[in-house]
Chain A
Amino acid sequence: LDHGYGLPTAAKECLSSIASQDVPTPQMPRAVFHTSESDPAKHTEQHEGRHYNIPLEEVKAVFPHGLPYRFQQQIQTFNEACVMVRRPALELFAYLRSTNFAHPAVRYVIYGERGTGKTMTLCHVVHYCSRQGWLVLHIPDAHLWVKNCRELLQSSYKKERLDQPLQASVWLKNFKTSNERFLREIKTQRKYVWGKRESTEEGRPLGEVVEQGLARVRTASDAVGVVLREIKQQSPRGSFRLLVAVDGVNALWGRTTLRREDKSPVSPEELTLVHNLRKMVMNNWSGGAIVTTLSQTGSLFKPSSAYLPQELLGKEGFDALDPFVPVLVPNYSPREFESCYGYYLERKWLQHEKARTEDGKAELQFLSGSNPWQLDRLAGPL
């Protein structure tokens, strides 16, 4: 028993024979952690803490981008997409149901410590709105637009702004996948001239603007600007409801790590994409809602302990977003932890024989501190 290394299997047998709390927990019934209600509109407090299944075709249609990477890997391994219903999401559904679409759009800011489930809450809201038939403008991570950009072109529209063709074209492609129907119905309201020989007439469907942006990558950022502008102008009319979902909204008002050719730093408002998105997040339009998430994980020049809106947005961002509804996403409650643990057991994700015991569960809860991200990381190798 000294070091245990000498005879690992013998030592394990020794330990397991002294069974105090080594009894494996029986499999918990599926109803504890799973619900068969797959329409987010019907989720209520009784579904809280339970996982619901999103069919895989719907995942491809609604979330071409936006799901966290670890969740995408989980979807591939388990062959199903299960999202937990949690209280912040239910709160947001209640607010969205009772919005008055004649009033200016209300801004909701989801905040919380690292790894508590802000992006997943946002994805839940996006799923709810797309099921209700809203037009969803989902920007998966605004931080990707202010860092690691290989090509910065000078904008042809305004001389002092900079274009990002790659990021814009990627976003347009994903936007097209998720909102085909609306791109056919919404018509442009004025003529847009892209170059000497290319222009889009008035009254053409918005899909053509997107095609133009994808075909001519140089004009992709301007195409994004046109799309945002048209949607914002036509939303008050009431033919469709608009949801602007931005993940990592604190990127729009921070600093960038991009530099021009003469090595001078670029500030966010000099980027076309960020400039247009800032206009979108203003509350001077009606007929929808704006749901955003703060994120320290991809942020630039912010300490890792910062999670409150004032710390992450800075003075400029806070003043710009000012009348907003904050939604805090906490760590797992004991009920939610049980549910997550039961789900992992049922999907055979926790393979270690000790992970099935009470001791193992207590250890997982202690080590992760009921933080969803930590629990996911800990349960990975087990």
Chain B
Amino acid sequence: MAAPSAAGLARRLRAWVPRLMQVRWSRYNPSYLEPEVNKELYQKPLEELTEEERAQMELKAVRPIKAAPPTLSSSVFRDPMISKFTNMMMKDGNKVLARSLMTQTLEAVKRKQLEKYHKAPENEKETIECNPYVIFHQALKNCQPIIGLSNITKGGKTYQVPVPLKDNRRRFLAMKWLITECRENKHRRTLMPEKLSQELLLAFKNEGPVIKKKHVLHKMAEANRAYAHFRWW
């Protein structure tokens, strides 16, 4: 009984190739489950689990689990947005360098804000935000465009048509603009953490070149309002 089912499972789990080749795809068989990193879930006693969680736990006993990527950790300090930003800053797969640049940037932001905090008079102390994570998230939120432009060809001519953007696309654009701005428009001798910390603080206050770029995009979309009906989705 065991031998045929084992062979069958092995056959099914070996190099599984989908019928339709996709652009971004995974070689894992669909029966593989994602690894669960949340510590609190395992510490909950059985009675408190909801129906889906109980079903999930039972499934884990029989299904194989995918290998956890190196960036996935159960650390309480893990922030997926910061990981994504670090990956975008990475060049040639040098994650060590990208991560150290990120930590230096956060430290630089914190130092600047703390210096201002300690020198400010008592009544202004509450207005100064010292948490680098809050500043990072708020700055990215401020840089996200609401509406984007897309090229649509109609009658031989290409028009720039205003188009709503998905959440993922907005986040990507904000991060991409921030990184390109820091890579290109800086003095040869300024280091990345220094420049990035400056840009993050400016974006936090809704100033700076990245916010300007977002406003320019919004204005172009507003100007091309007439072509909005070219969009068919």
Contacts and interface: CB of A to CB of B under 8 A. Distances in A.
Interface in B74-119: 75-77, 79-81, 83-84, 102-104, 106-107, 110-111, 114-115, 117-119
Contacts of A351: 110, 130-133
Q: Which 9 A/B pairs are nearest by Cβ-Cβ distance?
A: A381-B106, A5-B80, A380-B107, A381-B103, A351-B131, A354-B76, A18-B40, A4-B80, A79-B118
Interface string A70-81: 000100111100
Nearest to B115: A77
B110 A360 contact: no
A357 B36 CA distance: 22
A76 B113 CA distance: 12
Given A5-B84, A76-B115, A77-B111, 15 more contacts: A1-B41, A3-B34, A4-B80, A5-B83, A8-B81, A9-B137, A18-B40, A20-B43, A77-B118, A78-B118, A351-B130, A352-B133, A357-B76, A360-B76, A380-B110
A23 interface: no
Interface string A350-382: 011111010110010000000000000000111
B75 A363 contact: yes
A171 B132 CA distance: 38
A27 B187 CA distance: 43
A348 interface: yes
A2 interface: yes
Contacts of B36: 1
B76 A349 contact: no
A225 to B, nearest CB: 37
B38 interface: yes
Contacts of A73: 111
B54 to A, nearest CB: 15
A357 B39 CA distance: 15
A353 B131 CA distance: 9
Interface residues of B, number: 32
18 contacts: A1-B36, A1-B38, A5-B83, A8-B81, A15-B40, A18-B40, A77-B114, A77-B118, A348-B114, A348-B130, A351-B130, A351-B132, A352-B133, A354-B77, A359-B76, A380-B110, A381-B107, A382-B77
B38 to A, nearest CB: 6
A18 B44 contact: yes
Contacts of B84: 5
Interface string B115-149: 10111000000000011110001000000000000
A279 B111 CA distance: 43
A73 B115 CA distance: 11
B109 to A, nearest CB: 9
B24 to A, nearest CB: 14
Interface string A1-30: 111110011010001001010000000000
Contacts of A380: 103-104, 106-107, 110
Contacts of B115: 76-77
Given A5-B80, A380-B107, A352 B40 contact: no
A191 B7 CA distance: 97
